Structure 1
Amino acid sequence: MTNKTNAFSRRGLLKAFAATAVTAAPTFSNATGFLRGAGDIRRIQMYSGRTGEKLDMIYWIEGEYIGESLQQVNHFMRDWRNGQTVDIDTRTIDIIAATHNLLDVNEPYMLLSGYRSPATNNMLRSRSSGVARNSLHMRGQAADLRLSNRSVNQISRAAQSCSAGGVGRYPGSNFVHMDCGAVRTWNG
C-alpha cells in the first residue's frame, strides 16, 4: 500500500467516524494557529440544554472541512425556537474549537444560542437591551457558550487570546459570546 493510499484510507475512516459521532442531531489567522497543535484533526463538543442534543465530532481532517460534519453542526446550532438553519461560518467553529483546546477541558460546551432567525432576534430584542439589532447570530457567525468547570473570565480570556473575532462577557448570565466578526471585546 502506498502512502497516498494509506492517507486516503485513514481519511475515509476518520470521515466515517465523524459522520457517526453525533449523538443527536479557515483559514482564520490566530484561531487556526491555536488549532495546529491539535494535529491533523479538529473537534467540536457541545450539548444543548434546550433540545437535549449532544454534538461530539471531528469536523476538519488534514486541511479539509468535512461537509457531512458541518451539516450536522448547522443542524445542531439551529434556531431551536423554529427549527431554521443556516450554514454556520467555519471561522466561528474554529474559534469555538480553539478556545476549547486552550481551556484544556473534556467537558463539552453548553450552547445557549447559535443561529437566530430574524424573528427570534427581534423577539429577544423586545425583551432585552443586550441583543444587537444586526446580531451576527442571524448570519450564523456567533455562539453563546458556557462551561460549568470554567469561569466566564477564563473562557473569555482564552477566546480573546485567539485574536480572531468578538468576545463578549456576560458574568450575570454565566456565558461568553464568541463570533468571527471584527476583533473586539465588551463587558470586560
Structure 2
Amino acid sequence: MTATGMTRRGLLGAFAATAVTAAPTFANAAGFLRGAGDIRRIKMYSGRTGERIDMIYWIEGKYIGDAVKEVNHFMRDWRTNDVVKIDLRTVDIMAAAHNLLDVDEPYMLLSGYRSPKTNAMLRSRSGGVAKNSLHMRGQAADLRLASRSVNQMAKAAVVCRGGGVGRYSGSNFVHMDCGTVRSWGG
C-alpha cells in the first residue's frame, strides 16, 4: 500500500484506464510505457523448447543488457537455433499489451525471430506467411494467452499504436510487430 492507500495494482489499473484515452496521440510503445513506472517486465514460455522467462528488462529509463540478451536467446528461431537482436520496440508493445490485459499468465511465444530458411519453409506450407516477414528482422512475435481471446489480445495491442497487429482467430494467436501501424485478420 502507498501512503495514499492505493496499491501498485490499483495504480497500474489507473494508468491503463488513462492510457486508453491517450492512445490516439501515442507514437510508439516505448512512449506508452513511460507512464507505467520505473520497470518493464516480460513473461513468456515456449511450448516448442519448454523454456520460460519472467524478467524485468528495463528499469529507470534503461534496458538491462543481460535481460535483453536473454530475450534475444528466448525469441530465437528454435528450428535453426539462430539468435538475432530482437527489436525492443516489439518487446515494449508486447509488455504494454500484457499490462493492459491485466493478466499474470505468461504469453506463449509461437514465433519470434525466423531465419530466412525457416520463413521460406513456412511460406511454402501456408499462404499466411509474408515473403518479407518482420519476423526475419527480429521485429515481430506471434503470441497466445489461454485466459484471453484473440480479440482481447489484439485490442490491447492496437491501443498501443506501436506497430502491426494481426488477428489469427482460426489458429488462436495474435501477431505483434513494431512496423507500420496497421491491423488485419479476424
| TM-score, normalised via structure 2 length | 0.84
Give me the CA root mean square deviation.
1.1
Pick aligned residue for 2:104 from 103, 106, 112: 106
Alignment of 1:147-186 (within 5 A): 147-186=145-184
Counting aligned pairs with the same residue, the percent is 76
Count of residues paired in the alignment: 161
Does residue 70 (structure 1) correspond to residue 68 (structure 2)? The answer is: yes
SS in 2 for 1:178: strand
- Structure 1 ranges of 4+ moved more than 6 A: none
State the shift of 1:130 in Å.
0.3
**Aligned partner of 2:67: which letter?**
S
Aligned mates of 2:36, 2:164 — CA distance in 1: 23
Deviations 1:76-104 (A, max 9, x none): 00000010010000100100000000000
Aligned mates of 1:38, 1:107 — CA distance in 2: 19
Aligned mates of 2:77, 2:29 — CA distance in 1: 25
What residue in structure 2 maps to residue 6 of structure 1?
A: none
The answer to whether the 8 Å contact 1:34/1:102 transfers is: no
Deviations 1:40-84 (A, max 9, x none): 010000000000000100000100011111000000000000100
**Aligned partner of 2:147: which letter?**
N
Provide structure 2 residue ranges, at least 5 long, that are not aligned to the other structure.
Answer: 1-25
Deviates most, 65-74 or 36-45: 36-45
**Aligned partner of 2:76: which letter?**
R
Aligned mates of 1:38, 1:105 — CA distance in 2: 15
Pick aligned residue for 1:141 from 139, 142, 150: 139
What residue in structure 2 maps to residue 128 of structure 1?
A: 126
**Aligned partner of 1:150: which letter?**
R
SS in 1 for 2:171: coil
Provide structure 1 residue ranges, at least 5 long, that are not aligned to the other structure.
Answer: 1-27
**Aligned partner of 2:156: which letter?**
A
